[in-house]
A and B are shown apart, each in its own frame.
Chain A
Amino acid sequence: MAEKPRLKVPKEAKKGEVIEIKTLIAHVMESGQRKDRDGNTIPRKIINKFSCEFNGKPVFTANIEPAVAANPYLSFFAKVEESGTFKFSWTDDDGTVTTAEEKITVS
């Protein structure tokens, strides 16, 4: 995964605020259903799991099937009570894990 995932997380929030997080990672999400020109099935290669943690505590997880479009986009919410770091991870079928982090200041 050469390209960096794209993240949208507010830099600041009020204590107890529920913020929206948007994520996007570049990936072909090959479904395993398509065939190449010679009629051979193209093997499945997708991001099968996404997770988001805040200060080590789980916030949101998604188990993804091939029915999710290429360059998987996910958005969800998080309630923040303290300043800290969001950790994101994407797991590929081949075992590669791409991670990213984003800090937030809570006042």
Chain B
Amino acid sequence: MPKMTRREAIVLGAGGTALALAGWPAAALADAKAAADEVAKFTGGKAAEKGNITIELPEIAENGNTVPLAVTVNAPMESGNYVSDILVLADGNPRPGVAQFQFTPLSGKAIASTRIRLAATQNIVVVAKTSGGQFFTDQKLVKVTIGGCGG
């Protein structure tokens, strides 16, 4: 997790709320703080190093109902030293959690892809944990034209 100042967190939160689509109660949207809380829960308060993660997402998602996402962690996958968990968060959805993937040395590669729902333009935050207790993180902004949580 890159260190986020209180000011940045407030600005991000306000931006997310302003972009919320009509029909969404603003208070129901998760903000950067809720996402940061989830990250803290996952890392147990330990600092995460930025990098070693590739997030594949479209720059602009026309339909927030199904946005392709692929996450790659560039780290060895050997027994005793592998990527054990990847946490994916969306800081502008009603709830920040998206998915948590668990790997074993049998996975061979720390890559997972799926399709996700995004309510509005927001950051996708990815945190990876290695079997050795190291944490990596990165995030990517996606612009969403039509939000995808019903409504």
B108 touches A72 (CB 8 A): no
Query: For A64, what are the chain B residues with a Cβ–Cβ distance below 8 Å?
Result: 99
A62 touches B100 (CB 8 A): yes
Q: Is the interface on chain B under 10, 10 to 19, 20 to 34, or 35 or more residues?
A: 20 to 34
Within the complex, which residue of A34, A60, A67, A72 is in contact with B95, where a contact is CB–CB below 8 Å? A67
Could you count the A-B residue pairs with CB atoms below 8 Å apart for me: how many are there? 103
User: Within the assembled complex, what's the spacing in Å between the Cα atoms of A72 and B68?
Assistant: 11
A68 touches B116 (CB 8 A): yes
Query: For B93, what are the chain A residues with a Cβ–Cβ distance below 8 Å?
Result: 67
- The total of chain A residues at the interface (CB under 8 A) is 29
B65 touches A65 (CB 8 A): no
Query: For B109, what are the chain A residues with a Cβ–Cβ distance below 8 Å?
Result: 18, 77
Query: For B74, what are the chain A residues with a Cβ–Cβ distance below 8 Å?
Result: none
Q: Does A40 contact B (CB under 8 A)?
A: no
User: Within the assembled complex, what's the spacing in Å between the Cα atoms of A35 and B149?
Assistant: 11
A69 touches B67 (CB 8 A): yes
Within the complex, which residue of A31, A54, A65 is in contact with B106, where a contact is CB–CB below 8 Å? A54
Q: Which residue of B lies closest to A18 (CB)?
A: B108
B108 touches A65 (CB 8 A): no
Contact with A along B70-99 (1 / 0, CB 8 A): 000000010000000000001001110111
Query: For B65, what are the chain A residues with a Cβ–Cβ distance below 8 Å?
Result: 69-70
Query: For B108, what are the chain A residues with a Cβ–Cβ distance below 8 Å?
Result: 18-19, 77-79
B136, chain A: closest CB distance, angstroms? 18
Residues of B29-79 at the interface with A, using a CB-CB cut-off of 8 Å, are 65-67, 77
Contact with A along B112-151 (1 / 0, CB 8 A): 1111111000000000000000000000000000001111
